[in-house]
A and B are shown apart, each in its own frame.
Chain A
Amino acid sequence: MSLTARVAVVLKYASLVGASLVVLLPLLVLLMGSLKTNDEFVNGAPFEPPGNWFNLDNYVTAFTQGGMLRAFLNTSVILAVSLVGTVLIGSMAAYALDRFEFRLRRTIVLLFLLATLVPGVTTQVATFQVVENLGLFNTRWSAIVLFLGTDIISIYIFQQFLRGVPRELDESAAIEGANHLTIYFRIILPLLKPAIATVVIIKGITMYNEFYIPFLYMPDRDLGVISTSLFRFKGPFGAQWEVISAGVILVIVPTLIVFLLLQRFIYNGFTSGATK
């Protein structure tokens, strides 16, 4: 190998290791911090390891006083209902739009397409009034209906997938006399399994991370989800970085586990979802 080639290889690995350090270092400092006592955190340096690697006191504090237990429960409930709803609504819309010819078809497709151009953050000022008039303010339903109502990517993913599924399958069922609801539940939905996996993963991660909607519509402390509960750590634990660190790590760990288990799906899901 020539000298320049060797230098290039060294630079290449140096840049990769550098990038990894930039990503990991801020996270590792908080991981170590979450295992320190208040005294260690205040008097020690960020890169010093904790005295006891199994000191979980801060996690206990985060769970009990910080309300993270309730937060995980609220997030799970909202996530479960919203994901089932997203899959049903998205696949029904995709089924209707892909398998039927009808007069308003083009109009409806256009309405969905146009809606993708409207960034959610801009309309919240007016969405707020709608949610309040429906009596959903400060209920879990506010987050659920907004997750369902502003989700167009799922319809798109289902439609893309359905296009590749041969029509003969549902057409032959129709000839045998099955009605459309039966066809949808018995044939279409099972066929969509891979697309359902994609939708559940990318929507699940997006909803898990959502801050704006729960922050705006569910200010009640008892309705705190993980984002808003962690946000509220800033007040009471403002001076206790070791507890905030524990909260941060608690929020990241489930994401990390899901990522490690489902890497392939996640890469594919986010690349197909982002380029709608």
Chain B
Amino acid sequence: MTRRRGTLTPYLFLLVPVALLAVFTYVPVLNMFGYSVTSWNGLSPSKEFVGADNYLEIVTRPELFEVLRVSLYYIGASVVQIALALYFATVLSFNVRFRNLFKGIIFFPYLINGVAIAMVFLYFFQPGGTLDSALRVIGLGEASQQWLGDPDIINYSLAGTSIWRYLGLNFVLFLGAIQSIPAQLYEAAELDGANRWNQFRHLILPGIRPIVGLSFVLAISGSLAVFEIPYVMTGGANGSETFVIQTVDMAFKYYKVGLASAMAVVLLLIILLITWIQRRVVPDEKVNLS
């Protein structure tokens, strides 16, 4: 009855959702491609066609592409983050005292407002702030640095903040995947005399491989699109500028909407490419959590 063909009803139900989707996703994406071949400043009524000039500028002006290098710090951080998440998820999937408390503490940062996290770590890295004081307490006062003042160190500090913020999500995803491995398998493995490391290698790792793969892809696209933490903490100063910060500045500070659109197109294409590779490597239906 409800599956009758040719009725208008489903279209009426979809009218608003599809209109919103078109206006706020597809129109901007198409416009963005259009702007990227003009020298538009975002204000003037006319847009001058410049062909591939903006794209050439991105490739030839080294400082524009240079910012992509900053992403490498964040990609490196996501490897550390996933390793840590894997470790804590494995540990907490077995019997541990205060299990829920530890789980909650490790996950909670993921829920915190990004600006609040940026402020917390602005103070954390201040000279004489939380980190310096903690180092002094454990006798490593000498190791203090200009955490946010030294261009050689700043990206490590910011990437570290990013680990603090996002570890919880990976951790909870992995924990869920590990817990969906049937308990009988562990029991059988234990009867066979498998130790914890063997269990991890042969039971847990294969069971959660799809979700780990997905996490890597999300982490890489996330690393390319880093914005909030460095923007609030440093405004992109001292060599901490990321691709998105630069795009936003280009469009809204220097009014180079054409060039900014070309940069956004480049980023979009890179992210689509990574997603496409992921779909090849990790087949979709294998990711199953619930």
User: Which residues from chain A sit less than 8 Å from chain B, CB to CB?
Assistant: 12-13, 15-16, 19-20, 22-27, 29-30, 33, 45-47, 89-90, 92-93, 95-97, 99-105, 108, 111-112, 115, 117-119, 121-130, 134, 145-146, 148-150, 152, 155, 167, 170-171, 174-175, 180, 183-184, 205, 208-209, 211-212, 216, 226-228, 230-231, 233-234, 241, 244-245, 247-248, 251-252, 255-256, 259, 263, 266-268, 270-272, 274-275
Contact = CB atoms under 8 A, between A and B. Distances in A.
A134 B20 CA distance: 13
B25 A255 contact: no
Contacts, number: 261
Given A12-B91, A125-B261, A102 B23 contact: no
A227 B119 contact: no
10 contacts: A20-B106, A93-B13, A101-B4, A111-B21, A118-B268, A119-B221, A125-B32, A180-B2, A230-B119, A255-B112
A225 to B, nearest CB: 10
Contacts of A124: 28, 248, 251, 264
B220 to A, nearest CB: 12
B23 A130 contact: yes
Given A117-B272, A118-B29, A123-B268, A274 B16 contact: no
Interface stretch (B70-78, B141-149, B150-158, B168-176): B168-176
Contacts of A125: 32, 35, 247-248, 251, 257, 260-261, 264
A155 B268 CA distance: 23
Interface residues of B, number: 90
Given A26-B130, A230-B115, A255-B113, A126 B261 contact: yes
A123 B107 CA distance: 30
A39 B163 CA distance: 33
Query: A-B pairs with the 9 shortest C-beta distances?
Result: A149-B24, A96-B13, A149-B20, A100-B10, A126-B32, A126-B28, A93-B17, A96-B10, A126-B31
Nearest to B111: A255
Nearest to A230: B115
Contacts of B23: 130, 134, 149
B93 interface: no
Given A167-B2, A171-B2, A130 B227 contact: no
B236 interface: no
B225 interface: yes
Contact of A20 (B27, B96, B105): B105
Contacts of B28: 123-124, 126-127, 129-130
A244 B9 contact: no
B50 interface: no
Interface of B: 1-7, 9-11, 13-14, 16-18, 20-21, 23-29, 31-32, 35, 42, 87-88, 91-92, 96-97, 100, 102, 104-116, 119-121, 123-124, 128-130, 133-134, 137, 164, 169, 172-173, 176, 211, 214, 218, 221, 225, 227-228, 232, 244, 247-248, 251-252, 257, 260-261, 264, 267-268, 271-272, 275, 287, 289-290
A24 B109 CA distance: 9
Contact of A123 (B25, B121, B130): B25
Q: Is the interface of A mostly helix, strand, loop or mixed?
A: helix
Given A15-B91, A29-B123, A174 B2 contact: yes
B244 A121 contact: yes
Contacts of A259: 104, 108, 111
B1 A171 contact: yes
Most chain B beta-carbon contacts within 10 A, residue among A205, A226, A259, A274: A274
Given A102-B7, A129-B42, A174-B2, A272 B251 contact: no
A268 B87 CA distance: 21
Contact of B114 (A105, A180, A209): A209
A122 B116 contact: no
Given A23-B164, A118-B268, A175 B17 contact: no
Given A115-B21, A126-B261, 13 more contacts: A23-B106, A23-B109, A30-B123, A90-B17, A122-B271, A125-B261, A174-B1, A211-B232, A227-B113, A227-B115, A230-B119, A248-B119, A251-B113
A179 B290 CA distance: 34
Given A23-B164, A96-B13, A244-B119, A122 B232 contact: no
Given A100-B2, A251-B115, A123 B272 contact: no
Contact of A121 (B29, B173, B225, B260): B225
A99 to B, nearest CB: 5
Given A95-B13, A119-B271, A121-B244, A271 B113 contact: no
Contact of A180 (B9, B20, B110, B264): B9
Contacts of A19: 88, 102, 105-106
Nearest to B290: A272
Contacts of B108: 23, 256, 259
Contacts of B87: 15
B281 to A, nearest CB: 16
A263 B228 CA distance: 26
